[in-house]
């Protein structure tokens, strides 16, 4: 009895509660686990067989509680963030740094993709937060949306281009120009009707998924590109606001 009392103290439960729990476990496992005597209680064969498994379950439960505590206290908490591949790093790095300063336990896992892929991954639960923009499309009602900043879309032109000395470029000024198509362009499918309405036609001469390659081709005078203003970071390229209409 004294040994049983010590056992209940170690388990932080009352003796009746511990006895009921053992009986329920024995019923579930289909046999007695202990041989009970007044002064001595010892494991039966079934108890010896299941003991290592139960101890493993206990250890894993303790580890689960520890990890859960880390998450709730933001100690080792992964945060999966998606960033649209056409957003310049300079616009986001300050935000990333601020999260790290305020919550040292956040383990930021970043992924880049185009806007449509990010939204799909966000809705599927593969990402927890995503920074992207799909112009002309209402946010999905399943998402919580917070505006971060506005960015103008510009015409990226080589400095030797005949339009490069202007302050802005009208849509109709681009008629007949060679065009470098960014595969991940934020305005894909949105800007086309605007150009068609003004009967402006541009010849796509190159297609690229990478903005650095796009800028290199623009710098080489191979054509102009439709780009976010902050992404135009090549010394031989200028970014002019597009007007009539503005994007």
pLDDT digits (tens, 9 = 90+) for 66-114: 777 766 665 667 889 999 988 888 878 888 888 878 887 788 888 999 9
Task: Indicate if 227 and 165 belong to the same structural domain.
Answer: yes
Range of the domain at 85: 77-131
Instruction: Pick 7 or 207 by higher pLDDT.
Output: 207
Residue 203 lies in a domain: yes
Nearest to 87 by CA among 206, 247, 217, 211: 211
Is the same domain home to 61 and 106?
Answer: no
pLDDT, position 76: 63
**Does 139 map to a domain?**
no
DSSP 88-149: -GGGTHHHHHHHHHH-TTEEEEEEEE-HHHHHHHHHHTS-SEEE---TT-PPPTTS------
Is the C-alpha dihedral spanning 180, 186, 190, 194 positive or negative? negative
Q: How far apart are CA 187 and CA 70, in angstroms?
A: 41
Confidence band of 190 (pLDDT split at 50, 70, 90): confident
Q: Quick one: tokens of 217? A: 């081709």
- Asked if 214 and 180 count as a contact pair (C-beta separation under 8 A), the reply is yes
* 136 domain-assigned: no
| Mean predicted confidence (pLDDT) in 35-62 | 81
pLDDT at 149: 87
> What are residue 34's DSSP bridge partners?
43
pTM value surpassing 0.75: no
CATH number (domain holding residue 237)? 3.40.190.10
Q: How far is the C-alpha of 72 from the C-alpha of 130, rounded, in Å? A: 22
Task: Please state, in angstroms and rounded to a whole number, the distance separating the CA atoms of residues 8 and 18.
Answer: 7
pLDDT over 90, % of the chain: 45
Residues 177 and 237 in one domain: yes
């Amino acid at each position: 009895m004294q040994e049983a009392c010590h056992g209940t103290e170690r388990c932080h439960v009352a003796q009746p509660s511990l006895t009921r729990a053992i009986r329920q476990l024995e019923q579930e496992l289909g046999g007695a686990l202990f041989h009970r005597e007044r002064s001595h209680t010892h494991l039966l064969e079934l108890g010896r067989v299941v003991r290592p498994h139960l101890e493993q379950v206990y250890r894993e439960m303790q580890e689960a509680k520890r990890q859960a505590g880390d998450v709730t206290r933001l100690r080792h908490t992964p945060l999966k963030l998606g960033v649209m591949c056409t957003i310049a790093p300079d616009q986001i790095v300050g935000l990333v740094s601020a999260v790290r300063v305020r919550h040292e336990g956040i383990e930021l896992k970043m992924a880049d993709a185009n806007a449509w892929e990010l939204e799909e991954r966000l809705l599927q639960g593969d990402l927890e937060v995503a920074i992207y923009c799909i112009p002309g499309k209402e946010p999905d009602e399943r998402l919580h949306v917070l505006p971060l900043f506005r960015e103008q879309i510009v015409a990226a032109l080589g400095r030797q281009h005949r339009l490069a000395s202007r302050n802005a470029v009208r849509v109709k000024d681009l008629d007949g120009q060679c065009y470098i198509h960014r595969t991940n362009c934020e305005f894909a499918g949105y800007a086309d009707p605007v150009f068609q309405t003004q009967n402006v036609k541009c010849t796509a001469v190159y297609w690229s998924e990478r903005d650095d390659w796009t800028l290199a081709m623009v710098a080489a005078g191979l054509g102009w590109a439709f780009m976010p203003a902050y992404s135009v970071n090549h010394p031989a390229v200028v970014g002019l606001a597009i007007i009539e209409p503005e994007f």
